Amino acid sequence: MVFGRLPSEERILLTGAKGQVGGELLKTLEPLGVVIAPERAMMDLADATSVRDTIRAVRPRWIVNPGAYTEVDRAESEPDLAYAINAEAVKVIGEEARVLGAGVIHFSTDYVFDGSGEEPYVETDTVGPMSVYGASKLAGERALAESGAGHMIFRTSWVYGARGKNFLLTILKLAREREALRIVDDQHGAPTWSRDLARMTAHVIKRCEATAQTIGWKAALQDASGVYHAAGGGDTSWFEFAAEAVQQQREKEPGVRFAKIESISTDQYPTPARRPSNSRLNCTKLKERFEWTMMYWRDSLREVLSEL
């Protein structure tokens, strides 16, 4: 299979480039085409007009949209803003992409599920979000699917990396400051490295471009369109993830005292938004369709810690 750049001068419009996944995408997509990543002042996802105007001005071949309202608890008291960014903006992106014939890559979440059962969710499983955030992301998925644009929606979970606001960095900071940390042990899922998601996205774009050379752009996009689960390999709990991270960090810094990590249940740590107890995502479709396997969470954790 031939992997190459997009046709010369073709543009990729990237949202949320200051976020965890967007920051990685900015670097990973750069070799593929001309990446345009507007500041929020230029393209405000909460403002449908600015989203529409920017897309019309840029006329991209791809729109990659990791930009999102990601404050899960705050969304419970700011539903309008969460829906504007996570659903309305995605609807506009889909509508404009359809007119341009652009491909859309969008990111969604394990929180579209209610977390019942023990098995990893497949893409066709019944959704049932338990939070405003999850419901707003699901509304975005649906709006994009209904827009008629060629689209790929990657549902991921527990995103973290060496930069940004995430569980790992919070835990490592608190573990240096406190005697003990109490972490929930009854929510199961897999941490996903932001860079792995960015690399997967670049891989998928290259695959689509290569397919387009044989069957044409429109058919290649149509062929690839759909929802895909893309989360780290393996399965763990927040408690186990924290314990493993602190243990690995202890080995790197034997002289430093770190907090004891204690396990608690979700009932003992009430939050405004309810979270699914089963966040496991089955990523077989991604593997079969695009020949991409997401990194096992302990391996990516080791890599991320080596960067800190």
Ligand X SMILES: NC(=O)C1=CN([C@@H]2O[C@H](COP(=O)(O)OP(=O)(O)OC[C@H]3O[C@@H](n4cnc5c(N)ncnc54)[C@H](O)[C@@H]3O)[C@@H](O)[C@H]2O)C=CC1
Q: Which stretch binds ligand X (CB under 6 A): 20-28, 118-126, 175-183, 251-259?
A: 20-28
276 binds ligand X (CB under 6 A): no
Residue 50 Cβ vs ligand X, minimum distance, rounded to whole Å: 8
Q: Is 46 in the site for ligand X (CB under 6 A)?
A: yes
Which stretches of 144-251 are assigned E, i.e. beta strand? Answer: 150-156, 159-160, 180-184, 188-189, 192-193, 226-229, 236-237
Within residues 71-130, the interface with ligand X by CB under 6 A covers 85, 107, 109
What residue type is assigned to position 160 of the chain?
A: Y
Q: Does 141 bind ligand X (CB under 6 A)?
A: no
Least distance in angstroms from the C-beta of 75 to ligand X: 10
Closest by alpha carbon to 170, among 186, 181, 179, 155?
Answer: 181
Among the listed residues 69, 83, 121, 133, the single catalytic one is 133
Is 69 a catalytic site residue? no
Pick 144 or 220: Cβ nearer ligand X: 144
Angle at 17 between CA 97 and CA 248, to 5 degrees: 130
**Least distance in angstroms from the C-beta of 223 to ligand X:** 24
Residue list 203-262, contact with ligand X (CB under 6 A): none
Residue 219 to residue 150: CA distance in whole angstroms: 9
Residue 35 phi/psi, 5-degree rounding, is -90, 125
The shares of helix, strand and coil residues in the chain, as percent rounded to the nearest 5, are 45, 15, 35
Select 192 or 249, whichever has its Cβ closest to ligand X. Answer: 192
What CA–CA distance (Å, rounded) separates 296 from 294?
Answer: 7
Binding range to ligand X, per CB under 6 A, among 38-46, 123-131, 261-269, 287-295: 38-46
Stretch that binds ligand X, among 26-34, 156-164, 204-212, 247-255 (CB under 6 A): 156-164
Query: Which one, 37 or 243, has the nearer CB to ligand X?
Result: 37
Q: How far is the CB of 38 from ligand X (least distance, A)?
A: 8
- What length does the chain have? 308
Contact of 159 with 200, CB cutoff 8 Å: no
Q: Look at the block and give the residue holding tokens 């810094």.
A: 253
> Site residues (CB under 6 A) for ligand X?
16, 18-22, 40, 44-46, 66-70, 85, 107, 109, 137, 156-159, 164
Residues with a catalytic annotation lie at 133
